[in-house]
Structure 1
Amino acid sequence: MASGTPLPDRDAAASRIRELTEQIRLHDHRYYVLDDPVLPDDAYDALLRELRSLERAHPDLADPDSPTGRVGGSPKEEFRKVTHPVPLQSLDNALDREELAAFLQRLRQGLGREEVPVVCEPKIDGLAVTLRYRDGRFVQGATRGDGRVGEDVTENLRTLRSLPLRLALPVPGELEVRGEVFMARGDFGELNVRREEEGEPPFANPRNAAAGALRQLDPRITAQRRLRLFLYHVVDPLARGITTQGALLEWLREVGFPTQGEWARCTSPGEIGTFLDRWDQKRHEHLAQTDGVVVKLDDLAARETLGSTNRAPRWAIAFKYPPEERPTRVRDIEISVGRTGVLTPTAVLEPVRLSGTVVQRASLHNPDEVARKDVRIGDRVFVRKAGEIIPEVVRVDREARDGSESPFVPPSACPACGSEAVRLEGEVALRCPNRSCPAQLKEGLRHFASRGGLDIRGLGEKLLEQAVDVGLVRDAADLFLVTEDAWAALDRMGAASARNLKEALEVAKDRPLRKLLFALGIRNVGDRLAADLAGRFGSLEALEACSEEALAAVEGVGPVVAAAVRAFFRDGHNRETLRRLREAGVRMEDPQEEKAPGGLPWAGWKLVFTGELESCPREAAQEAARARGAQTGESVSRKTTAVVAGARAGSKLEKARKLGIPVWDEARFLELLREAEETREGDAPFPKTLEEGTRP
């Protein structure tokens, strides 16, 4: 705990930890499973901060399945292979209504019935996973792989808040369920915007983004990608008394799994067609990207009669909607300037209706992409929505050219300020290097004032642009320094609007530190990482003083983010803006009771735990080590600082001895924990000598 903060009474802390854990699980279930949140984000975050603080004070009381453990563990060197006892098969596709009708006829012939009820479910375009539970607790998750052998992604899956670590109802014994991990449409769009702003290539579709996130070797990166989950299958459902697909979906929801609300039991081809037509109209507004409908035999026992081929079940098929592409013409190619200075070419199109909306602009991403597709002004092109979300130019109709088309010439200067455009080493994007560029300033201020940032109510886009254009606002600090009369003098403002805006700005000054960190637009620091950094350091001053090496050792950061954070604080323009924000009264630290323990005395250490500890669960000991700056891993190497060995330690202990790696018993580990706590409290130098070695 921070200096001067008394430790909570142990019994009271245990009771409060249990209470908070259950409250957070309930709210996670309402938000991610029922889609019916009842708690504002700030109130939820306050519960999470309180729980994290109590667990740090009493690591032995922490629940192994605590919600605070979802931020991700240490990086894994590789994924372990998992053999699926029941293979994960693919589905055959029906590309039109005739192929679907042929499938239904095969069902009728195979079962010798005229009426064969089926269940229609939206086909989520995600990554197939299988989850194993033991007595209602999540124990393992794996990817499909080749259907017979997948990859163990348990730690990455634990970061998904829609995945229940414990089921809502008792389910004794072994349970295996299957579903899809996906990235919501809105999160996918935001991710690609951030990648383009940072000069990185965008993901082609939400499925690629989800697959890349789930297979990250570092679970902390997975935790930042906001993946979600839908379940639709139970392995061996008949053994649980579940006899139909409809009942299976209801059972999954009852025990606490997220399922799709949009499904229907159909008893005739006409009902199936009605569902396909209705869903074709609704699918563009669905939370997840969908490209079709899965039609499954409802009778689970009858599925056993039909069986499967080598690759697909005979009792299900995926009806795929045809990809929607529309022709239009490129009126112009404009350059937009992002808040980080990235110059993005954008095709201005003749309006075309696509996937339920009218599209008039499509990002061309970067000059290299324009050259690869050879897009010219005046071209007839075909457009679609990437992942049914982001408009993109698919191809050029070169045969329609008449010679009047104009090739795109990459800009040599920023269109907003005239500064020479530059391309940084290793990047495909062009950038404007001018930090005072008005276009960058406007985009940066929009981000600063956004709901995810300081949430400045009444500071809309048009007002911000006007304030920058007339020279009233030159950086974020000016927002708080402009007088009420000056705001009122702007177009369409007036005294009442100006007074309300000033009141909103005063409220925004007192936002939590995590909001400020996100609002500042530090490269690679999203809202979740901003919350982690705020919880770790407690003040902007402490974060600014932290070295790049110490930052890289913090859970959830790593070397790339650490370099970006240090670069932000080294920049003279940023330092001046922070100084003026501080003078304007913007809060730059969280209240004392919200601060995480300060200092990182174990920065640079790499610890490996093996065996069972008596004083606390091993996960709690790992969290305590990470809270002091150490990295915790699963494998022993020559870079390992020490191995903490409990009872029944296994092969890791033997390998440590062979490599000459220091081995600490539980008593030594707890002694070093106490010393580290005293170091932070009293600023005494951390002891150089360890029991069996020295600090690196």
Structure 2
Amino acid sequence: MDIQSRMQELVVRINQYNEAYYQNNESLISDQAFDELMHELQQLELQNPLFALPDSPTQRVGGTITKAFKSVIHQFPMLSLGNTYNEEDLRDFDERIKKTLGDEPYEYICELKFDGVALSFWYENGRLIKGVTRGDGTRGDDITENVKTIRRIPLTVNSEKFPKIFEVRGEGFMPISSFEKINEEKVAKGDAPLANPRNAASGTFKMQDSAEVARRNMDCFIYSFVGNEIPFQTHEEGLNLMSQQGFPVSPTWRKCASVDEILAYIHEWDEKRNDLPLNTDGIVIKINDLGQQERLGYTAKSPRWAISFKYPSEIAQTKIESLSYQVGRTGNITPVANLHPVYLAGTVIKRASVHNANEIQRLDLHEGDSVFIEKGGEIIPKITGVDLTKRSNGAIPFNFPTHCPECHGELVRLPGEANHYCVNETACPPQIKGKIEHFIQRKALNIENIGVETIDLLYEKGIIKNAADLYALSELSFWGLEGFQQKSIANILQSIEKSKQIPFRQVLFGLGIRHVGATIAEKLVLAFHSLDNLAAANYDELIAIPEIGDRIAISILDYFNNPMNLAIISKLREAKIQLAEDLQEIVLEGESLVGKSFVISGVFENFEREELKAKIIANGGKVVSSISSKLDYLVAGNNMGPAKLEKANQLNIKILSEEEFLALLS
């Protein structure tokens, strides 16, 4: 058997085993035998990339690194639903339906409203070609490589019942079991746990490393079929057809003929929903007949044929055991209530943020108080009140500390702000370590292979005292430290060296100047182009920049007036970090290149390379550095490299001359 045939056979066999396991809960092969087949396929694909199939099960394990998610315009808008919280509103909704449809009989489909991330899956010729987030409903992010890791979402659909082009929509989620496992691992490592499954799902689907997404075992329930050709007449038929064709449709839906039946469904799931593998926050009620849906139509924001019933927020009562105070990277002090564990809306709650001193006073919190806990939107636990009937005589009120719980420096409260700050930023350990963690993150210097534990260890051992000290690390720095092998040390040093090429806008963000986020950093680079120019700017020059107000300007001036910060900058300059960038603002000209990717190679008559790149971005396109099967166009100038040309031809990539590019643009 030749290599290509063997690869095709492996794809078919592994997909069959996956379908049996994930769709039918049936294991046809041992884990070891399955892993051996998967490993063989991965190796063959690495050695023979031209033979790799788009529906290969290796897509499920991830491994693609996405530096930025391109924006995609939805083929059909992803509208939100109107909400109701009581029976009266539901009956009003039913009356509006009855008034519009007249004497026509109608029925509803009731579905659980899952608490995750709305996703859209685009299929063409039976293959999954794109996965997109809801975004603002009109435009979302292309996260195709990440959604391919959802094992229950079919990569191919072989059915004559579906049109050539169609779309299904659903709710992507992190199962509670995965959420709890990840948090156990994080707590064991000393990391901060994930806040809740919904936020964890949202963050996971936007991760840039699809292998990490795959490791988190994300899941999805499909609830809608969209397209210009709909192969059924009712929503009920659509749910059944999608389920028959391998899409993960939750079996919890029900057809209801009246509001009373809808209310019975709502009451039935009020308690049962806590036994599901994910959180829910309500019920979605839809008209079943698609023709009636069309006649009922839409408002500007939502369909008139559907509504969402939201369950009231669950409330629990428990006792405050203590208040602790966390010190953030910028010195912000956040009080956290440590609670006697209580079960609420599917999770055990042990802690709740109290935000600031004003909130402590508003709630009038005392030691040992019995408090009411509610999940805001069934997500974030918060204290909503105190049961004064259970307050003991002589209970002592909580008072906000006057000094930092970590370094004991005096706290200050800036005029007009609710938060207290520790201003001892050069000697307060959580602030220093937080600044280093901020410096190495992906949006900043993107120093990989260094985690929070490594930073803690290097700081505690006195090896680093600030972010600039990272550039003085060598193999000798790690000698005698447990858990560091030669390979891991080499990877760390290589990542640090690589960060010297990170553009100045990310370096500026990485410095951690208070109130200077990634967007503000880019605006500052557009205006000043170098750190020296920014450091020399006065107050009037700063506030003249769009979106730079009094608070940000003062924060920047304070940063450059601090000798410790200037010493760090001096070390970064010695390490040859990028402290200047000729960044030019790109003004959006049009959308003719939206969704298209380009590689630029060679010399051009009408453009410098950076000008051509800016032109592509200004018209909605994306410029990438390497040629792959997913590339749309190679723009070829004079004297382009023969290797790129050969690879583009092998992969059947469309090659554009400069004239053809200009024609495409127009």
- Indicate yes or no: 2:314 matched with 1:324: yes
Post-superposition CA distance 1:614-663 (Å, at most 9, x none): xxxxxxxxxxxxxxxxxxxx734xxx5xx559999834544xx69x8885
Shift of residue 185, structure 1, vs aligned partner: 1.6
CA contact (8 A) 1:132 1:176 kept: yes
Task: Give me the whole-angstrom Cα distance separating, in 2, the residues matched to 1:372 and 1:192.
Answer: 30
- Indicate yes or no: 2:306 matched with 1:362: no
2:368 corresponds in structure 1 to 378
- Indicate yes or no: 2:383 matched with 1:394: yes
1:25 corresponds in structure 2 to 15
Task: Give me the whole-angstrom Cα distance separating, in 1, the residues matched to 2:197 and 2:315.
Answer: 18
CA contact (8 A) 2:125 2:165 kept: yes
CA contact (8 A) 2:204 2:213 kept: yes
Aligned pair partner of 1:124 in 109, 114, 124: 114
Unaligned runs of 5+ in 1: 1-10, 336-343, 414-420, 430-520, 525-539, 559-607, 612-633, 671-696
CA contact (8 A) 1:362 1:393 kept: no
Post-superposition CA distance 1:508-531 (Å, at most 9, x none): xxxxxxxxxxxxx9989xxxxxxx
Post-superposition CA distance 1:344-371 (Å, at most 9, x none): 988352x8664479x6x61358xx9697
Task: Give me the whole-angstrom Cα distance separating, in 1, the residues matched to 2:394 and 2:277.
Answer: 44
Shift of residue 64, structure 1, vs aligned partner: 2.7
Shift of residue 74, structure 1, vs aligned partner: 4.4
Aligned pair partner of 2:169 in 173, 178, 188: 178
CA contact (8 A) 1:204 1:386 kept: no
- Indicate yes or no: 2:538 matched with 1:548: no
Post-superposition CA distance 1:24-53 (Å, at most 9, x none): 323333444455555565444333223212
Task: Give me the whole-angstrom Cα distance separating, in 2, the residues matched to 1:19 and 1:652.
Answer: 37
- Indicate yes or no: 2:52 matched with 1:62: yes
2:288 corresponds in structure 1 to 298
CA contact (8 A) 2:324 2:338 kept: yes
From the superposition, tell whether residues 141 and 398 of structure 1 become closer, same or farther in structure 2 (CA, over 3 Å).
same
From the superposition, tell whether residues 407 and 30 of structure 1 become closer, same or farther in structure 2 (CA, over 3 Å).
farther
Mapping for residues 238-387 of structure 1, pairs under 5 Å: 239-331=229-321, 347-349=338-340, 354-355=344-345, 362-364=350-352, 374=360, 377-384=367-374
Shift of residue 246, structure 1, vs aligned partner: 1.1
Aligned pair partner of 2:633 in 650, 655, 664: 650
From the superposition, tell whether residues 403 and 669 of structure 1 become closer, same or farther in structure 2 (CA, over 3 Å).
farther
Task: Give me the whole-angstrom Cα distance separating, in 1, the residues matched to 2:631 and 2:435.
Answer: 52
CA contact (8 A) 2:165 2:227 kept: no
% identity of equivalent residues: 33
CA contact (8 A) 2:223 2:249 kept: yes
CA contact (8 A) 1:205 1:386 kept: no
Aligned pair partner of 2:133 in 136, 143, 160: 143
From the superposition, tell whether residues 276 and 332 of structure 1 become closer, same or farther in structure 2 (CA, over 3 Å).
same
From the superposition, tell whether residues 386 and 93 of structure 1 become closer, same or farther in structure 2 (CA, over 3 Å).
closer
Task: Give me the whole-angstrom Cα distance separating, in 2, the residues matched to 1:273 and 1:34.
Answer: 32
The one-letter code matched in structure 1 to 2:221 is F
Post-superposition CA distance 1:403-447 (Å, at most 9, x none): 51464999879xxxxxxx964734499xxxxxxxxxxxxxxxxxx
From the superposition, tell whether residues 369 and 197 of structure 1 become closer, same or farther in structure 2 (CA, over 3 Å).
farther
Aligned pair partner of 1:210 in 201, 207, 213: 201
Aligned pair partner of 1:105 in 95, 101, 105: 95
Q: Secondary structure at the match of 1:323?
A: coil
CA contact (8 A) 1:646 1:665 kept: no
CA contact (8 A) 2:152 2:248 kept: yes
Higher RCO, Cα 8 Å, sep 6+:
1
Post-superposition CA distance 1:273-307 (Å, at most 9, x none): 22111211211111221101111111111111111
1:425 corresponds in structure 2 to 432
CA contact (8 A) 1:346 1:364 kept: yes
CA contact (8 A) 2:90 2:259 kept: no
From the superposition, tell whether residues 110 and 201 of structure 1 become closer, same or farther in structure 2 (CA, over 3 Å).
farther
CA contact (8 A) 2:225 2:238 kept: yes
Q: How many correspondences in the alignment?
A: 459
Mapping for residues 515-554 of structure 1, pairs under 5 Å: 547-548=491-492
Q: Structure 2-normalised TM-score?
A: 0.58
CA contact (8 A) 2:221 2:250 kept: yes
The one-letter code matched in structure 2 to 1:381 is V
CA contact (8 A) 2:313 2:378 kept: no
Q: Structure 1-normalised TM-score?
A: 0.56
2:124 corresponds in structure 1 to 134
Task: Give me the whole-angstrom Cα distance separating, in 1, the residues matched to 2:630 and 2:218.
Answer: 36
2:468 corresponds in structure 1 to none
Task: Give me the whole-angstrom Cα distance separating, in 1, the residues matched to 2:343 and 2:633.
Answer: 62
Task: Give me the whole-angstrom Cα distance separating, in 1, the residues matched to 2:41 and 2:454.
Answer: 29
The one-letter code matched in structure 2 to 1:186 is S
Q: Secondary structure at the match of 1:24?
A: helix
Post-superposition CA distance 1:145-188 (Å, at most 9, x none): 22222222223322322322111434451112212222112222
The one-letter code matched in structure 2 to 1:86 is F
